[in-house]
Amino acid sequence: MKPRHLPNDWLENYSAWLQAQDKRPLTIKNYCADVRHFTKWYTHRNARPFTPADLTPTDLQLYRTALQQDGRRAATVTRHLASMRNFSAWAVKQSYLALDPSQEIRGVAQQPHAPQWLDNRAQFALMQSLERARNAAQTPT
């Protein structure tokens, strides 16, 4: 299937499609913002404007790496990639792309949070509570 001509207002069409899919307004806003972010990154990196017909798996992999190198959290990178997967699926359904370039692109594994330490005040309060409980248990009734 040959990709069809792409109108200049593809982002508006994508947004309208999301609305027709009953996506929440915040989801639509985030998906569109993430796609805009990708297009800016793509245009800067490739020195030419982005069109959905140009999207490749390599672009998405490089974008993922760029987000990580920018210090983005794993959840943020994963959200950006989820937005691009959704966008890619739309582009295929609209015949802007013949194949979905996002199929092999995965999110980023999140690191478990390190244990949080109690500050000195909380440590002493905990020790005092334990000592009181021990004293109460040892007091004859």
Task: For residue 102, give its domain range.
Answer: 10-111
Does 94 map to a domain? yes
Question: How far apart are the C-alpha atoms of 57 and 35, rounded to whole Å?
Answer: 15
Does 124 map to a domain? no
CATH of the domain at 63: 1.10.150.130
**Tokens in use for 136?**
């109460």
Determine the pLDDT at residue 29: 95
Does 39 map to a domain? yes
**Tokens in use for 57?**
């798996």
Does 79 map to a domain? yes
The number of domains in the chain is 1
**pLDDT tens-digit profile of 94-115?**
998 988 888 877 766 666 666 7
**pLDDT tens-digit profile of 6-25?**
445 889 999 999 999 999 99
Does 5 map to a domain? no
Does 22 map to a domain? yes
Q: Is the pLDDT of residue 3 over 50?
A: no
- Could you tell me the pTM of the whole model? 0.70
Q: Rounded to whole angstroms, what are the CA distances from 58 to 4, 7, 14, 63, 105? A: 22, 24, 22, 8, 9
- The vertex-127 CA angle with 126 and 132, nearest 5°, equals 100
**pLDDT tens-digit profile of 110-130?**
666 667 788 888 888 888 988
Determine the pLDDT at residue 8: 58
Does 137 map to a domain? no
